[in-house]
Amino acid sequence: MTDHTQARLQRIEDRVANLDDTVAILATVDDTLAKQRISETFGDDPSMVIIYYGVQKKLSQSQIAAELRARGLEPASQPTVSRACGLLEEKGFLKKEPRGYVVRAGWDAFGLTKYLKGVLRAKGVAPLE
pLDDT exceeds cutoff 70 at 75: yes
Write out the CATH class of domain 3-123: mainly alpha
Percentage above 90 pLDDT, the chain = 66
Break the chain into its structural domains and give their ranges. Answer: 3-123
Higher pLDDT, 22 or 50: 50
**C-alpha dihedral (26, 27, 32, 36), degrees to nearest 10:** -100
Other beta carbons within 10 Å of 79: 10
Res. 27 pLDDT band, cuts 50 70 90: low
Q: What is the mean pLDDT of residues 94-120?
A: 93
- pLDDT, residue 28, reads 62
**What angle is formed at CA 27 by the lines to CA 21 and CA 30, rounded to 5 degrees?**
105
